[in-house]
């Protein structure tokens, strides 16, 4: 009874050790991405609220260059 438990425990230990990605030689962790996109010069997010409507836009300030725009009405639960 003790041998099968020991075999299973050893197998799980080896599987977890194989998944370990820290401390491997040759890995440069300083170059890892933070998960967020790199900022684009002069582009930013802008929020405009007008009564029950709101618009969140990403683009150039004071320009028609709009990369994305999200519109919604208060309490509608939908983006347009």
Phi–psi pair at 29, nearest 5 degrees: -75, -15
In a domain, 65, yes or no: yes
In a domain, 53, yes or no: yes
Using one digit for the tens of pLDDT, what is the confidence trace for 36-62? Answer: 778 889 999 999 999 999 999 999 998
In a domain, 69, yes or no: yes
Using one digit for the tens of pLDDT, what is the confidence trace for 4-35? Answer: 777 877 777 776 666 665 655 655 656 566 67
Phi–psi pair at 26, nearest 5 degrees: 90, -5
Q: Between 6 and 77, whose confidence is greater?
A: 77
In a domain, 48, yes or no: yes
Please determine, for residue 70, whether its predicted confidence score (pLDDT) is greater than 70.
yes
In a domain, 68, yes or no: yes
Can you give the pTM of this predicted structure?
0.50
Q: How many domains does the chain have?
A: 1
In a domain, 67, yes or no: yes
Residue 47: give the domain boundaries: 40-74
In a domain, 51, yes or no: yes
Q: Please, which residues have CB within 8 angstroms of residue 53's CB and are 6 or more apart in sequence? A: 71, 72, 73, 74
In a domain, 44, yes or no: yes
pLDDT score at 13:
74
């Amino acid at each position: 009874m003790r041998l099968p438990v020991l075999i299973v425990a050893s197998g799980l230990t080896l599987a977890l050790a194989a998944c370990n990605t820290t401390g491997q030689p040759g890995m440069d962790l300083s170059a890892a991405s933070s998960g967020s996109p790199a900022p684009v010069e002069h582009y930013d997010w802008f929020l405009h609220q007008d009564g029950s409507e709101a618009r969140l836009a990403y683009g150039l300030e004071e320009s028609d260059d709009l990369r994305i725009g999200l519109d919604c009405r208060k309490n509608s639960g939908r983006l347009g």
